[in-house]
Amino acid sequence: MRSRIPHILLLAVGVLLLTACYESSDVTRHEPGVYKGEADPLAKKLENDGELREQLNQRFDGQRDR
Amino acid sequence: MARMKFLCDADRCIECNGCVTACKNANEVPWGVNRRRVVTLNDGLPGEKSISVACMHCTDAPCAAVCPVDCFYTTDDGIVLHDKDLCIGCGYCFYACPFGAPQFPKTEAFGVRGKMDKCTFCAGGPGEDGTEEEFEKYGANRIADGKLPACAEMCATKALLAGDGDMVADIYRERVMRRGGRPQTWGWSKAYGEG
């Protein structure tokens, strides 16, 4: 009986150590080639703000020769 | 929807490097890094030509295609931008870009590159517009203020054009037509003769 105790203890420690090897199956999968970063509010601003778009167009057009 | 492009009129570029300086000044680009460069062909020879080169905001950008962390995005206006928080500085984009646009301002120990930096068409980057954080990471966001990229706006000879591809092409076409339609009043051959 006495000789069994260290074995059980060893087994318990072994099992405890093995729990550290647990790997979560909840993996985040990303589609390749799809932008993963933060959104850019400028895109929406350009889409919705007609005044800004007009201002930009005027500047772009100002590049024509006088 | 516009397709933002740069076009450098080689017949007008006088290699003043005003665009390079304007870019560095507007975006506070670190020392040793040029988002824009002026390249001269046949330098010092008669008929030399200069063009100003930066990110060309490709329609099917090769940098975005090779990025392993997909940090590139293209706005609806065709401006190719990237998220520096995702960039791992692998340098694949540098190898893929035919114009040498991606720059790496920081070199860390053992040759590890820092986050990639490139021309943003003065449109900043992802995140809130006009913040100090955006400026530090990506430089000026002039587009959000309704302004042109600093390089194009500073060009003294209007050699560097920026804007919608159709409009830029239209301006260039007009110029070419005009050049072909009258005798060469100025230029190399007028000043120095043929050869």
Q: Looking at this predicted complex, what is its ipTM? A: 0.75
- Token pair, residue A18, equals 């093995």
**What is the tens place of the pLDDT at every residue in B75-114?**
989 999 999 999 999 999 999 999 999 999 877 777 778 8
Phi, psi angle pair for A6, to nearest 5°: -60, -35
Residue B40 φ then ψ, to 5°: -115, 130
Task: Determine, for residues A45 and B171 on separate chains, whether the beta-carbon distance falls below 8 Å.
Answer: no
pLDDT at position B123, please? 94
What are the residue ranges in chain A where pLDDT is below 50?
A: none
Task: Choose from B83, B133, B177 for mutation: most chain A CBs within 10 A.
Answer: B83
Across the interface, whether the CB atoms of B158 and A38 are under 8 A apart is answered no
Interface probe, candidates A35, A45, A61, chain B, greatest B C-beta count within 10 A:
A35
Query: Which residue from B minimizes the CA distance to A54?
Result: B146
* pLDDT above 50: residue B182: no
Where do the domains of chain B lie, and which CATH numbers do they carry? 4-192 (3.30.70.20)
The nearest CA of chain B is from the CA of A27 a distance in Å of 17
Q: Which positions ≥6 away from B11 have C-beta within 8 Å?
A: B49, B159, B175, B179
Please report the pLDDT score of residue B191 as a whole number.
Answer: 67
- Interchain CB distance below 8 Å, B127 and A38: yes
pLDDT tens digits, residue range B171-181? 988 888 888 75
Mean pLDDT, rounded, for B17-21: 96
**Which pLDDT score, from 0 to 100, does residue B46 have?**
85
